A = this chain, B = another copy of it.
């Protein structure tokens, strides 16, 4: 079993504080929707599928507090982060149920179960791709911590390993917030999956030397032509994989698909605080007066993607939009 990023019991949302890993495994107990919004904004909980589920439970907490309407709670939670589509799907799923007079708790549980099931389906669908390409680079964290459990990009690797493939994961450290070295490496250690952490700068070097067989990443938003947003640096790895004739895979549940949007050019990209770059684990690493640019995501054009690993199977860029529509995603936020 993989770790769990969050769970809901006794009227509280419990989340592993991902800012403190790998040093400390501290659980935060959230009782109010504003605490959930804050946890999402501060990256206490992060990863597109996980923040969708956290926000769904945030809606549940709002429905049990005084003074919140479905629309007002949704507005608060939507304002936390702009790029991950799952966030908006999770909020809308519970908002619609609540507004219809249904039980928000039941809607959120169903939403969570669906995300968890889809991660397992991604694992099954993707595993065959890695049986003969076992040395796999990943960027950021799209493991259990990003997705409640099991993961998106790590799911096929977990399944391939369980089938005897000699999986070895190259872990990009993923500056500025080090989700690779802090979170992915920590997950892989828990499950004894062989791996090595590298500076983001070193991935191309190992690709060129023939030491990387494939690349797999998660996604924050995939639009209907296959363009997708993911953690800053993903575009660089996609171009390098293409140049080195290495397959590049994107793994995501249906909640990540924004099929109403036709190309990646219009995906909103969050810019975060300069201090994330100026400081490194609490220490100052750049002159305080030097300006900084800190986009949290980039958009990778579909032409660099070999295939998408979805709960409905593996699809090429030309077919992924149609596949998503067939799975009932024609109307964007409704599932």
Q: Which chain A residues have a beta carbon within 8 Å of chain B's beta carbons?
A: 22-23, 171, 173-176, 178, 181-182, 185-186, 188-189, 194-206, 208, 231-233, 235-236, 239-240, 243, 277-278, 280-287, 289-295, 298
Known: A197-B292, A205-B295, A282-B283. 18 other contacts (CB 8 A): A176-B199, A181-B285, A181-B290, A195-B291, A196-B290, A197-B286, A198-B293, A198-B294, A199-B294, A200-B233, A202-B295, A204-B233, A204-B236, A208-B235, A236-B236, A281-B281, A281-B284, A281-B285
Complexed CA–CA distance, A282 and B280 (Å): 9
In contact, B201 and A175 (Cβ under 8 angstroms): yes
In contact, A197 and B239 (Cβ under 8 angstroms): no
Complexed CA–CA distance, A296 and B208 (Å): 15
Q: Tell me the nearest residue of chain B to A287, going by C-beta.
A: B22
Q: Tell me the nearest residue of chain B to A198, going by C-beta.
A: B293
Q: A175 touches which one: B23, B173, B290, B298 (CB < 8 A)?
A: B173
If the complex has contacts A173-B277, A232-B202, A293-B206, are A182 and B286 also in contact, measured as CB distance less than 8 A?
A: yes
| Chain B residues with CB below 8 A from A199, complex form | 175-176, 200, 232-233, 277, 294
Residue of A176, A188, A239, A287 with most partner-chain B CB within 10 A:
A287
| Chain B residues with CB below 8 A from A232, complex form | 199, 201-202, 205
| Chain B residues with CB below 8 A from A188, complex form | 290
SS of A interface (majority)? mixed
If the complex has contacts A173-B175, A174-B201, are A281 and B278 also in contact, measured as CB distance less than 8 A?
A: no
Complexed CA–CA distance, A191 and B181 (Å): 35
| Chain B residues with CB below 8 A from A198, complex form | 277, 292-294
Q: Tell me the nearest residue of chain B to A235, going by C-beta.
A: B204
If the complex has contacts A239-B239, A243-B243, are A282 and B285 also in contact, measured as CB distance less than 8 A?
A: no
Complexed CA–CA distance, A200 and B298 (Å): 13
In contact, A201 and B236 (Cβ under 8 angstroms): yes
| Chain B residues with CB below 8 A from A197, complex form | 277-278, 286, 290-293
| Chain B residues with CB below 8 A from A23, complex form | 284
For the complex of A and B, the 9 pairs showing the least CB-CB separation, nearest first, are A201-B233, A281-B283, A181-B286, A204-B236, A205-B298, A185-B290, A175-B199, A201-B232, A196-B291
Complexed CA–CA distance, A197 and B196 (Å): 27
| Chain B residues with CB below 8 A from A283, complex form | 280-283
Q: Tell me the nearest residue of chain B to A176, going by C-beta.
A: B199
